[in-house]
A = this chain, B = another copy of it.
C-alpha cells in the first residue's frame, strides 16, 4: 500500500517526468550510459567498460566503486551496442519449434548449458506462420556466432544457405557431412527396449514406426537388429508421431485375432493414444500387453501414465550442441581444407548421446500362453 514506484533514477524524456536523482548530469530523459557512470564515479569510460566486462585492469576497490556508482544512477549495460562493437559475436542462436514439448525441454537445458558457461542465447521460434528460413534469417541478422537448430525440417543445403555462413549445429535431426550434429543413440535405445521385453519373457514385439520423423531410420534399423539378436519375432506397423496415430494403430491391432504381447511405440505420444484405446476396450496393461514409449521423456514422466520409455538425455544433447557451437565459433564454419567452402566438407562433427530405458508400470511379463488376448 502506497509503495513507491520502481527505484529508477532516470526517466523518459517526455517532459513530464520528475527524475528522482538530479545528481547525475544528463541523467534525465535517457537511460544512463557508461559515460554517465564514468562521470558519477569520477573515472573513465574505459574503466567502466573493464569493470562490466570483468576484464583485467582494475583493482577490486575500483570495481566496487564503479558498480556502486552504476547502481546509484540505474545503469544497465546495453547489449545492442556491445553486440555491435564486438566484431565477432559469441552469442549462440537457437532455432526451436513453438509447440514441440521436446524442444522446450531442450531449450531449458540449452539455457543452462550456454548461459551457465557465460554465454548468451538468442531465441528464434518456428511456428505455423513463421518458417525456418525466417527464423534463421533473424538469427543471422543478429550476427550470432553460431546457431543451434532443433529438429529442422529444411534440407541440409537449405539450412546452410539460410544460416548464411554462420556455423550450424543440429540437434535431434540427422544431417549430412556439412553440418555438425548431436543426436540420441536411437539404435541403442531400441536394443535396450527389445532386450528388456525379451528378459521379461516376451516372444513377439511390434514396433510402431513413423516415417520421415527425426531418427526414424535409426530406430527402424535398431529395432530389426535387436529383434534378430534376441531371437524374437518382430513386426513393424507404420504409424505416426501423435496420440491419434497411436489410437489408430490400436484399432487396427484390435481387429487381429490376437494382440502382440508387446509394443514399442515410436514416441510417448503415440504410446499414449495406443494405451487409451486399449484400456477402454478392456485390455489390461501390462497384464495383457506391455507398452514401451520412446523419445519424449517429458510426457511420460509428467503424465500420470507411468509409461516405460526410452528416455533421451536432453541435458547431454544440449551440452553436446553447446560444445560444438563454441568450438565452431572459434574455428569458423565447416570447410574441408584451405580455400574450400563446400558442403562436402569432411570435418563435420557428430556426437551420439546415450539413451536410457526408464522402466515404469507399462511393461511386465507376458501371459502364460505367450500372447496377448484376442480382441473382445
Contacts and interface: CB of A to CB of B under 8 A. Distances in A.
A332 interface: yes
14 contacts: A2-B344, A6-B157, A14-B332, A16-B339, A17-B341, A18-B340, A31-B143, A74-B164, A78-B141, A78-B143, A79-B138, A98-B111, A111-B127, A244-B304
A256 interface: no
Contact of A141 (B17, B77, B272, B273): B77
Interface string A80-97: 110110010100000000
Contact of A80 (B84, B99, B277): B84
Given A5-B343, A101-B101, A108-B127, 12 more contacts: A8-B161, A78-B141, A80-B80, A80-B83, A80-B84, A80-B142, A99-B108, A107-B125, A112-B128, A115-B130, A243-B302, A244-B304
Nearest to A109: B127
A53 interface: no
Interface residues of A, number: 86
A276 B304 contact: yes
Interface of A: 2-8, 10-12, 14, 16-18, 20, 30-31, 74, 76-81, 83-84, 87, 89, 98-101, 104-105, 107-108, 111-112, 115-116, 123-125, 127-130, 137-138, 140-143, 157, 160-161, 163-165, 178, 242-244, 246-247, 272-273, 276-277, 279-280, 298, 302-305, 332-333, 335, 338-344
Given A5-B341, A304-B243, A304-B273, A129 B157 contact: no
